[in-house]
């Protein structure tokens, strides 16, 4: 059974910079069940659920109805393999899609301190009384527009600028420049730090190495070109536009990040939320 999320874009100018979008998902049937693959992204995903429990393994997360558990938040960092998600029962959740470095602005601690794994239970806000007040108010209303405003107000109350923001923003931009690709050493010199310092700082706040980030960014760049940029019709054009230097490398990266070659991948996916959510739903729930 496929899902139908209700998607919102932040209205506050500050949040627009750090939150790509968020969506609400609610199911009303105790027999609801769906499984799908979600693919590597440069965004960071935070899911906040009401009355669920979870089973988290590497590259697999099952979330199922549990009325005894008031709230549960699950954080998914940047990963280099697909994530199989398994949802069961009555669910009510908000998913916040943070841009690269986005969640960092609302933590007050390095990202790696709260997100060392590909997926984990998120507890960084549990000590805040106004977090629990937000959750109570959020789930007390069924109006999505009211929920969106409550979410924005809560995030703004947490805002703490990241001291390394300028360095990391420059690094992210250079890593995602596929017309003039620079080596990590060149990027280090460009931003004025040693390669070792860049790697350590990047890993601390992004949760992945610069090389790993560039691989995911290249994949997402090609995905955008294929799904959104209308003049890219052939997969070879998509690959070259993202500077996959030959077809074999293009196929290799797609196989690694999606489990399929590009042709099979694009035939299998189901874009949602104006092509911003890319899932591959599993027809056989026992897979």
User: pLDDT tens digits for 240-265?
Assistant: 888 887 889 899 999 999 999 999 99
Question: CA–CA separation, 15 vs 158, rounded Å?
Answer: 11
Please check whether residue 279 lies inside any domain of the structure. no
Task: Count the domains in the chain.
Answer: 1
Q: d(Cα 152, Cα 76) in Å, to the nearest integer?
A: 20
Q: Is residue 204 part of a domain?
A: no
- Residue 137: inside a domain, yes or no? yes
Q: Is residue 41 part of a domain?
A: yes
Please tell me the predicted confidence (pLDDT) of residue 286. 42
- Specify the pLDDT at position 271: 77
pTM higher than the cut 0.75: yes
Stretch 34-38: mean pLDDT: 94
pLDDT tens digits, residue range 161-173?
999 999 999 999 9
Q: The dihedral of CA 196, 201, 207, 212: what is its sign? A: negative
Q: Answer yes or no: is 238 within a domain.
A: no
Any domain includes 287:
no
* pLDDT tens column, 130-168: 999 999 999 999 999 999 999 999 999 999 999 999 999
| pLDDT, mean of residues 214-239 | 84
Domain CATH number, residue 92: 2.60.120
Domain that holds residue 83: 6-161
Q: Is 84 part of a structural domain of the chain? A: yes
Residue 65 located in a structural domain: yes
Pairing relationship of beta strands 119-121 and 71-76 according to DSSP bridges: antiparallel
What value does the CA radius of gyration of the chain take, rounded to a whole number of Å?
A: 19
Confidence (pLDDT) at 284: 57
């Amino acid at each position: 059974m496929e899902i139908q999320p209700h998607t919102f874009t932040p209205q506050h100018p500050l949040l627009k910079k750090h939150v790509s979008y968020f969506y609400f998902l609610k199911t009303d049937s105790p027999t609801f069940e769906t499984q799908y693959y979600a693919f590597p992204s440069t965004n960071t995903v935070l899911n906040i659920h009401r009355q669920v429990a979870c089973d988290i393994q590497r590259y697999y997360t099952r979330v199922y109805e549990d009325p005894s558990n008031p709230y549960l938040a699950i954080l998914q960092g940047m990963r280099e393999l697909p994530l199989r998600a398994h949802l069961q029962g009555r669910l009510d959740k908000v998913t916040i899609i943070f841009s690269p470095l986005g969640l960092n602005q609302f933590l007050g601690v390095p990202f790696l301190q709260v997100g060392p794994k590909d997926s984990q239970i998120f507890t960084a806000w549990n000590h805040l009384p106004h977090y629990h007040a937000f959750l109570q108010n959020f789930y007390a209303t069924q109006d999505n527009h009211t929920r969106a405003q409550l979410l924005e107000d809560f995030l703004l109350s947490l805002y703490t600028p990241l001291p390394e923001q300028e360095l990391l923003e420059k690094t992210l931009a250079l890593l995602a420049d596929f017309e003039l690709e620079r080596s990590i050493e060149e990027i280090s010199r460009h931003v004025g730090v040693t390669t070792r310092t860049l790697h350590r700082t990047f890993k601390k706040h992004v949760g992945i190495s610069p090389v790993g980030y560039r691989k995911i960014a290249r994949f997402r760049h090609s995905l955008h070109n294929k799904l959104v940029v209308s003049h890219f019709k052939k997969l070879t054009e998509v690959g070259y536009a993202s500077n996959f230097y030959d077809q074999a490398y293009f196929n290799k990266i797609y196989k690694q990040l999606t489990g399929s070659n590009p042709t099979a991948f694009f035939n299998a996916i189901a874009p949602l939320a104006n092509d911003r959510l890319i899932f591959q739903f599993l027809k056989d729930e026992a897979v």
